[in-house]
Amino acid sequence: MFDLNDLNKEKNIDNLVVGGAGFLGSNLIDFLIKKEENVICIDNLSSGNKFKIISLDEALNFNLDKCEKIVIGASIRYGRHNKKVLDFIIRNKNILDSKKTAFFSVNVVARKEEKSTPETNPYMLNFLKKTNWKPNKLSVFAGKVDYPNYNFINKIVIRFIMMVTKGPTDINNSYEFTNWENVRKFAKELEKL
Ligand SMILES: Cc1cc2nc3c(=O)[nH]c(=O)nc-3n(C[C@H](O)[C@H](O)[C@H](O)COP(=O)(O)O)c2cc1C
């Protein structure tokens, strides 16, 4: 992990990805790194991946103003994006409004075609209304249902939700709905921001 003081001394950062340590965000970072862009990641560190640089809590003291592009992503847990991500956006709204920005949401409702776009995904619509933020680029990605890695309660509740919404219910399996080609396209479009 970098020392936050060292990070604050960096002159220029191509991409800041908030929510980059999770399943979707870390793959997005992989694409950006391959394009030799430098990337800083901020995350709430909840989903055990290797890009863990600054925790969302520590990021309170991070100066966003030097970042050229800012990409923020958040996944859904029981109908909501992480409140800390929303707070981060609201707190930094003036800086975000002065930058090239993108936001992506990850949820499994987006596996349904009719709820898979920023205009039709209910979580994205709710997010835009709550934050009143207008990023230059928006995207919704379908995530995964990962029963084997859920605790007992989550297994039961998510299986029930899947049953009602006609999704997969075998708790011995993991189901990935992500269209990686769309993620690649999104990463490419970030270059053009
Ligand atoms: C506890 C829990 C609750 C979830 N609730 C929802 C939900 O209400 N709606 C939805 O569309 N997806 C829901 N999901 C699915 C996640 O958004 C999806 O698994 C995503 O891929 C998680 O990405 P992450 O590991 O990067 O956070 C839930 C997942 C978990 C583990």
Query: What spacing in Å lies between the alpha carbon of 166 and ligand 1's midpoint?
Result: 16
Residues 123 and 157 in one domain: no
The CATH number of residue 82's host domain is 3.40.50.720
**Least confident stretch, 23-27, 66-70, 148-152:** 23-27
Q: Rounded distance, CA 123 to CA 130, Å?
A: 10
**Least confident stretch, 4-13, 32-41, 66-75, 99-108:** 4-13
Looking at the predicted structure, is the pLDDT value of residue 4 above 80?
no
Query: What spacing in Å lies between the alpha carbon of 14 and ligand 1's midpoint?
Result: 29
Q: Which of 27, 108, 144 to mutate to test the pocket of ligand 1 (most atoms within 8 A of CB)?
A: 108
**Least confident stretch, 47-61, 114-128, 163-177:** 47-61
Annotate 70-90 with DSSP letters as a single string.
EEEEEEEETTEE-HHHHHHHH
Residues 13 and 62 in one domain: yes
Q: What is the mean pLDDT of residues 114-132?
A: 97
Residues 126 and 163 in one domain: no
| The predicted structure's pLDDT at residue 21 | 80
Residues 167 and 183 in one domain: no
pLDDT grade for 53, boundaries at 50, 70 and 90: low
Number of domains in the chain: 2
Query: What spacing in Å lies between the alpha carbon of 72 and ligand 1's midpoint?
Result: 17
Residues 33 and 89 in one domain: yes
Q: Rounded distance, CA 83 to CA 90, Å?
A: 10
Encode 64-96: b = buried (16+ Cβ within 10 Å), e = exposed. Answer: beebebbbbbbbbeeeebbebbbebbeebeeeb
- Please state, as a whole number, how many other Cβ atoms lie within 10 Å of the Cβ of residue 167: 17
Residues 168 and 97 in one domain: no
More confident residue, 7 or 16: 16
Residues 169 and 182 in one domain: no
Cα-based distances in Å from 98 to 8, 14, 66, 135? 19, 15, 11, 10
Q: Which atom of ligand 1 is nearest to the CA of 110?
A: 11
The boundaries of the domain holding residue 151 are: 145-175
More confident residue, 130 or 56: 130
pLDDT tens column, 136-176: 999 999 999 999 999 999 999 999 999 999 999 999 999 99
